[in-house]
């Protein structure tokens, strides 16, 4: 039974997926960040999974929209609409009551303008109080790392459009770096490769399947074939080909090189003591991009540092966001520069950190 009296939610506002967590219920929503609208009047035809299933199969009068890009809002109105829809969905179609407190994960280093856009969109969707939590800190909490200990933990969160590497110690982010590349980067590269190399048009969902199915073979250098269906660009008719895994080697190599470099840069800039902690404790991979088979072994070979994948890596950020939200009343528990708050009456962070959990 849904706990109507606990108006606290953690939200992972991802480029690929939106996930919502509630204490005692776990993850109550996991939907693609996709909306389909009519081009003529802007009316909404589908949201989430229903919208994603329409990609590549829509008539010309419909438009596919991805309102979240690089973890921030690209289309404010559509994001607000999507959030309203999802928040009502998890409450059986009813509005949220006054006093709802929502924590939202955000990429490190985004501007105050982008933070305000996220806060306003969530507020318009029905929240009374909004807390912004930086994604690497949330990911570390969701991965059950001892983030409040005087020990450096290196977390790499591989999302749909961005990859963030951060070293966390004593409840805060010591140093972080990010690149505008994620799992969707490989998907788009595969789509372009199939066009240029085989003259075959495929959609992003097909490319994502290829990435997952052939990832392990590419990472380990094994030879594997898979049947790919698409549309021949020359004559426009359906076609299927057998794709060899090693054809995608260069695409994966470029992607992995980018991840390796952002990790190296993060370690190079951290204090020596924390670098020693990382060598001893290793690197933890989070995010949906960590699920590509063999990625952790490839990174470990490149870096010479132990690498492991967190349990349920795609859920780490939303789980950590929820945990951090429920930890906020404990003053001094987390660094304020990684946890920021706003309410409809614009209370200060100090005021909100002093409020009770209820």
Same domain, 32 and 120: yes
Q: Choose one of 246, 268, 285: the last residue of a domain.
A: 246
Same domain, 282 and 307: yes
Q: Provide the whole-model pTM.
A: 0.87
Same domain, 169 and 192: no
Please tell me which residue, 343 or 187, carries the higher pLDDT value.
187
Question: If pLDDT is split at 50, 70 and 90, which confidence band does 358 have?
Answer: very low
Same domain, 280 and 192: no
Q: Is residue 1 part of a domain?
A: no
Same domain, 274 and 152: yes
Same domain, 145 and 287: yes
> What's the whole-number mean pLDDT along residues 173-198?
95
Length of the chain measured in residues: 358
Q: Choose one of 222, 246, 270: the last residue of a domain.
A: 246
Q: Is residue 270 part of a domain?
A: yes
Block residue for tokens 């596919």? 64
Same domain, 126 and 221: no
Write the CATH number for 349: 3.30.420.40
Q: Is residue 47 part of a domain?
A: yes
Pairing of strands 307-309, 283-286: parallel
Same domain, 156 and 92: no
Q: Is residue 297 part of a domain?
A: yes
Helix axes 183-198, 249-268, angle to 10 degrees: 150
Each residue of 9-23: pLDDT tens digit? 999 999 999 999 998
- Residues spanned by the domain of 265: 139-181+252-314
The total of structural domains in the chain comes to: 3
How many Cα atoms within 13 Å fall on the side-chain side of residue 196? 8
Same domain, 95 and 215: no
Tell me the torsion sign for CA atoms 20, 22, 26, 29.
negative
Same domain, 28 and 92: yes
- For residue 181, the surrounding DSSP H or E stretch is none
By mean pLDDT, which of 71-75, 83-87, 327-331 is the weakest? 327-331
Dihedral, CA of residue 64, residue 286, residue 254 and residue 293, to nearest 10: -90
Q: Tell me the percentage of the chain whose pLDDT exceeds 90.
A: 77
Q: Does the pLDDT of residue 343 top 60, yes or no?
A: no
Dihedral, CA of residue 181, residue 186, residue 190 and residue 193, to nearest 10: 50
DSSP tag of 97:
P
Each residue of 110-154: pLDDT tens digit? 999 999 999 999 999 989 899 999 999 999 999 999 999 999 999
Nearest partner of 210 among 236, 229, 237, judged by Cα: 229
Same domain, 38 and 76: yes
Q: Is residue 2 part of a domain?
A: no
Question: If pLDDT is split at 50, 70 and 90, which confidence band does 70 have?
Answer: confident
Write the CATH number for 201: 3.90.640.10
Q: Does the pLDDT of residue 209 top 70, yes or no?
A: yes
Residue-wise DSSP of 115-178: HHHHHHHHHHTT-SEEEEEEHHHHHHHHTT--TTSSS-EEEEEE-SS-EEEEEEETTEEEEEEE
Same domain, 277 and 162: yes
The predicted structure's pLDDT at residue 188: 94
Dihedral pair phi/psi, residue 100, rounded to 5°: -65, 125
Question: If pLDDT is split at 50, 70 and 90, which confidence band does 355 have?
Answer: very low
SS3 content of the chain, % helix, strand, coil (to 5): 40, 25, 35
The predicted structure's pLDDT at residue 166: 98
By mean pLDDT, which of 34-48, 103-117, 163-177, 335-349 is the weakest? 335-349
Each residue of 285-299: pLDDT tens digit? 999 999 998 999 999
Q: Choose one of 226, 246, 266: the last residue of a domain.
A: 246
Question: If pLDDT is split at 50, 70 and 90, which confidence band does 206 have?
Answer: very high
């Amino acid at each position: 039974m849904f706990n109507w009296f606990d108006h606290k939610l953690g939200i992972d506002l991802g480029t690929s997926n939106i996930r919502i967590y509630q204490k005692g219920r776990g993850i109550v929503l996991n939907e693609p960040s996709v909306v389909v609208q009519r081009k003529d009047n802007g009316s909404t035809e589908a949201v989430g999974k229903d919208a994603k299933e329409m990609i590549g199969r829509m008539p010309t009068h419909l438009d596919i929209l991805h309102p979240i890009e690089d973890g921030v809002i690209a289309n404010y109105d559509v994001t607000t609409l999507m959030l309203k829809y999802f928040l009502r969905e998890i409450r059986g179609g009813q509005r949220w009551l006054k006093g709802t407190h929502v924590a939202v994960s955000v990429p490190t280093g985004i501007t105050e303008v982008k933070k305000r856009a996220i806060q306003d969109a969530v507020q318009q969707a029905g929240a009374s109080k909004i807390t912004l939590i930086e994604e690497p800190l949330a990911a570390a909490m969701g991965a059950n790392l001892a983030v409040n200990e005087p020990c450096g933990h290196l977390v790499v969160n591989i999302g749909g459009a961005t990859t963030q590497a951060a070293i966390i110690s004593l409840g805060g982010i010591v140093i972080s770096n990010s690149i505008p590349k994620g799992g969707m980067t490989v998907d788009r590269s595969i789509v372009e490769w199939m066009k240029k190399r085989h003259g075959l048009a495929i959609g992003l969902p097909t490319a994502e399947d290829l990435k997952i199915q052939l990832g392990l073979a590419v990472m380990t250098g094994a030879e594997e074939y898979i049947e790919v269906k698409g549309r021949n660009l020359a004559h426009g008719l359906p076609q299927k080909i057998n794709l060899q895994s090693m054809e995608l080697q260069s695409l994966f190599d470029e992607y992995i090189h980018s991840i390796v470099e952002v990790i190296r840069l993060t370690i190079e800039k951290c204090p020596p003591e924390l670098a020693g902690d990382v060598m001893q404790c290793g690197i933890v991979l989070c995010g949906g991009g960590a699920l590509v088979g063999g990625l952790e072994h490839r990174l470990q070979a490149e870096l010479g540092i132990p690498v492991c994948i967190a349990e349920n890596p795609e859920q780490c950020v939303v789980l950590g966001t929820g945990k951090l939200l429920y930890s906020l009343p404990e003053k001094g528990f987390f660094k304020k520069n990684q946890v920021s708050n706003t309410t409809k009456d614009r209370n200060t962070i100090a005021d909100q950190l002093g409020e009770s959990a209820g």
